[in-house]
Structure 1
């Protein structure tokens, strides 16, 4: 399979019929393919997130990242847009679900779409991935150290961030969770609580925790980057999507 891709900024229809900016990357070949919605982290719709979108395209998926901060700060830099979103209380859960649904519909409308959708997010996007997978019909979800799924966030976090554990019975698809054993948000005990809750409801999930890794161990541009954990994590992500999104 060729890893030749195209990438562009596009407009998609999000929650409430709003037109929002998004970043799309996809392979150039004719093969049928699944789609991946990438939910950006709290720092925003930035270069590192767009690189993740392109990575999925090179792996054979159509991938799109909606700019969740389009409404608060259209055209602003990622830092300014993230600050504006935080000041307004963060992205409301209902709006997030509508934007992810719009992104999934956009992917399924592309030539070559096989109708299967995965969702992935890191940090706040991990929490929002769990929310999306419990609110929409998704085929595979990847939560990379999603914070505040189990516990209340500390003071100073956006008001929209509330625990989601009560949604566990509604999980619509297999869930892959990748966590750092040294992380505090979520800490290992929170991950264990989430796993137990999913077990209770018979929900398919696969959790991995990496020793020596804390929060944001996938982030190549941060001191928190842990190459061994990140390389293994990417292998698990692509294997997981290969099992659940390929026609």
Structure 2
């Protein structure tokens, strides 16, 4: 066990050294966390995580959930939302879910329930230490604080992975995140390039396109993006896709016409039902293929 944790800690240190150099081109007048936070704030001007009846979508099969401690950082417990099918009969493939810039709120728990209803054990991590935001001003403070301490976020995700592997014997583990969590889903892949089994990115800002970093990835990647989004822009998404292709990586990248940032969030003001439904179908097919070895037919439309 100690050897495993030492390996993860070493991976964090090595990754931070390269990640920090790649991200150090932020403007000198502001910290990296502030810059990334401001970019997200611009995207979410006037936005609110407003609950709607759509949030209540039921999972495909009954699930059971609980809040669990999946690790400890700086002598503080890491609390996450763990959900799985009721009465699972075997060790299940697992998904680390990473929240949007609003935090681990009811919408993220609902999406975790839906994922678990597809036959997965899901751990929705908390990168904000128990806090959530109801408006962009609060979210900006939380995301800036988090981004200013990337080493803690990497440690958090490494412990989530280790928890699912050791406590629940997960045969395979994927990461999936939206917005802020989309970027950190990719970062988790970069942190554990030969351990994580799949990465799903929903419109993650601050995308890494550097071939030297992306070449380490060994897992398949699914990217879901909106045509109207500016963080990342379509140009950045296509650069990301072209780099992965040039490196011979397995990647599926989808850009939805007429869809904006956060289009898959049913509790947000930019929700695009048609695009979100198609993206969900592609996500489940991708996870089933690479975590279960199951092929399924999916829609080719990009709404």
TM-score by length of 2: 0.70
Aligned match of 2:123: 64
The CA distance in 1 between the partners of 2:134 and 2:123, in whole Å, is 20
Q: Answer yes or no: is 1:222 the counterpart of 2:268.
A: yes
Greater shift, 165-174 or 218-227, is seen at 165-174
Greater C-alpha Rg: 2
Structure 1 runs not aligned, ≥5 long: 151-162
8 Å CA contact 1:131–1:164 kept in 2: the answer is no
Q: Does residue 115 in structure 1 map to residue 171 in structure 2?
A: yes
Contact 1:15–1:96 (CA under 8 A) maintained in structure 2: no
Q: What's 1:128 paired with?
A: 184
Q: Secondary structure at the match of 2:287?
A: helix
Q: Is the 8 A contact 1:4 1:27 kept in 2?
A: yes
Q: Which structure 2 segments of 5+ residues have no match?
A: 1-59, 294-303
Mapping of residues 1-247 of structure 1, within 5 Å:
3-14=61-72, 18-28=76-86, 29-70=88-129, 74=130, 76-79=131-134, 82=139, 84-86=141-143, 88=145, 90=147, 92-111=149-168, 113-136=169-192, 137-150=195-208, 166-246=212-292
CA contact (8 A) 1:42 1:124 kept: yes
Task: Kindly state the Cα deviation for residue 126 of structure 1 after the two structures are TM-superposed.
Answer: 0.8
Q: Distance in 1 between matches of 2:107 and 2:75?
A: 28
1:86–1:210: structure 2 CA closer, same or farther, 3 Å change rule? closer
Gap change, CA 1:15 and 1:238, over 3 Å in 2: farther
User: 165-174 or 219-228, which moves further after superposition?
Assistant: 165-174
- Between the aligned partners of 2:106 and 2:146, the Cα distance in structure 1 is 24
What's the CA shift string for 1:65-97, capped at 9, x where partnerless?
Answer: 111111xxx5x4544974553453635333222
The structure richer in helix per residue is 2
How many residues were matched structurally? 229
Q: Is the 8 A contact 2:102 2:132 kept in 1?
A: no
**Aligned Cα root-mean-square deviation (Å):** 2.3
